[in-house]
Structure 1
């Protein structure tokens, strides 16, 4: 298959998968989560320029199939973040020994989290300009969804569900979106590595490092959440959830690093992920472990030298 044909097919496949979300069917919605995959396959396999061309094809096709709104959603949700990710992931420089040093994937993750946080702030400002706060907008939207998908639900039960969902809905939605983008990127890299078409090597847990600036974003979000009130506190709380994602991934990398020192590594990791899936407190503990690793260096103290940190 020629390069240009692969680029075109990647953009077409991405746009078609994205439009599948509009059907409303659960199976199609799940399929739409794979929309970034073709863009990553092109970008990580043929270079950033090729990936951007595939995104442009997908953007044009989305506009033709669903109009400007569909094109805008495709650009914000799939094309732009995927392009940011593979563009940064393909950056490299030569060290003093003449060896290529790749841009840390942890820093790519931080840029995606920062993008999600910035998008949340922009949405909040737009809603404020329209005379409605972000929390009120989220509450109204979720109430409408519940009335449509569960019309027989009693008002008392609906209010209880809203009380549980509204406080953390924007942050949870952003975390799920980050998981989709990162998951597609890693899947594409694994496919390309297996076929020998990868430009950069695949990631390992010991190479997971974060830039220092992400700590300040996390601190700023926490300060806004603690000192703010009303919608400001609401925005800060959800920003904390978003910026916690890189530290969560870093925390899991620390666990993997420590597990290498134990003979029963596989059973230990299975138990770890089962507990992680079932317990919110466990997920918070892993975020805390990631923060400690970022500020203190658990791996360096327990398992030898830490990877060199990049601050780009």
Structure 2
């Protein structure tokens, strides 16, 4: 049964991954959902089903598109989804109480690390030459800026050369890619876990997600990644991507704090609606603010001082 489920999930994931070549607006959304079938297979059946799905999807993409595309599918989609699902179902028992499941805070830390590795993997699939990679990213940014200026979405000073601006922005691109990978992995994990829970196949009891906070190790890792991000090689790309991924993880932690802080409050619903609308409308402003809240929570233990303990889990 597990191989059959894995093969089916892998083919669906490969199809979602491959539609991105059409370039339509819908294709980007479908591409973002490509880890979902692998997550469902790994969470609902077994992590081996996730491995079958990864291998099947990579083979299907390699045959239908290119061998490089199959490698990209495995590094960017399949293996990250399998590994995070595997960690999510880890548990231990001391023989005297209920199972202790893998903490969500540590899982978010692993999601950030996996996102950084996926970012580097996607770069290496493009080229193993760092200078060629940096030049390709700079050309892509230059094209986007030219199009935005042409369509009057932005205005730049007349004496500002767009090529130099693109060259200056190119080292920061992995920061955004790492953050976007964290968002994609986290949302697909949540959606797949919900779907598997509805079907009654999720082995792990549904956790109290608002209590999620990153361990203090994440602060040291963020500091180290920020120092190494200035290196002009693929190690710098990895560090920059890890910095962005950790900031995105802290953003989710800050969002969890708002959910936790508002438990039982009359203003909970309007506050949460306002926050989520602002995340869409003013993402560039609210995302760093939520990340700072998450950082402060990890550093000072805000919720331990101000909040009652989370409700008991079944």
Deviations 1:72-93 (A, max 9, x none): 1100111110011111111000
Q: State the Cα distance separating 1:44 from its structure 2 match.
A: 0.2
Return the alpha-carbon distance in structure 2 between the equivalents of residues 71 and 257 of structure 1.
41
Distance 1:164 1:252, change over 3 A: farther
For residues 146-161 of structure 1, the aligned pairs below 5 Å read 159=162
Deviations 1:140-168 (A, max 9, x none): 23335677x78977997992884796463
For residues 157-196 of structure 1, the aligned pairs below 5 Å read 159=162, 162=166, 166=170, 168-196=172-200
Q: State the Cα distance separating 1:177 from its structure 2 match.
A: 2.3
RMSD: 3.4
Distance 1:120 1:25, change over 3 A: closer
For residues 16-55 of structure 1, the aligned pairs below 5 Å read 16-55=15-54
For residues 178-257 of structure 1, the aligned pairs below 5 Å read 178-224=182-228, 228=230, 238-257=241-260
Return the alpha-carbon distance in structure 2 between the equivalents of residues 170 and 254 of structure 1.
27
Return the alpha-carbon distance in structure 1 between the equivalents of residues 260 and 223 of structure 2.
26
Return the alpha-carbon distance in structure 1 between the equivalents of residues 3 and 216 of structure 2.
39
Distance 1:265 1:94, change over 3 A: same
- Larger mean CA deviation between 111-120 and 4-13 belongs to 111-120
Aligned residue for 1:113, secondary structure, equals helix
- Aligned residue-pair number: 303
Distance 1:230 1:35, change over 3 A: closer
Question: Conserved in 2, the CA contact under 8 Å of 1:47 and 1:90?
Answer: no
Residue of 270, 285, 289 corresponding to 2:273: 270
Return the alpha-carbon distance in structure 1 between the equivalents of residues 151 and 267 of structure 2.
48
Alignment correspondent of 1:99: 98
Unmatched tracts of structure 2, length 5 or more? none
Alignment correspondent of 1:86: 85
TM-score by length of 2: 0.82
Aligned residue for 1:132, secondary structure, equals helix
Q: State the Cα distance separating 1:17 from its structure 2 match.
A: 1.3
Q: State the Cα distance separating 1:30 from its structure 2 match.
A: 2.0
Deviations 1:65-119 (A, max 9, x none): 1231111110011111001111111100014632111112332221121123245
Question: Conserved in 1, the CA contact under 8 Å of 2:211 and 2:257?
Answer: no
Alignment correspondent of 1:75: 74
Return the alpha-carbon distance in structure 2 between the equivalents of residues 5 and 235 of structure 1.
36
Return the alpha-carbon distance in structure 1 between the equivalents of residues 28 and 119 of structure 2.
22
Q: Does 1:281 align with 2:285?
A: yes
Deviations 1:160-216 (A, max 9, x none): 884796463222122222222221111111011112121212332334132343222
Unmatched tracts of structure 1, length 5 or more? 308-312
Alignment correspondent of 2:302: 298
Q: State the Cα distance separating 1:7 from its structure 2 match.
A: 2.5
Return the alpha-carbon distance in structure 2 between the equivalents of residues 96 and 44 of structure 1.
24
Return the alpha-carbon distance in structure 1 between the equivalents of residues 293 and 138 of structure 2.
33
Aligned residue for 1:14, secondary structure, equals helix
Distance 1:212 1:119, change over 3 A: same
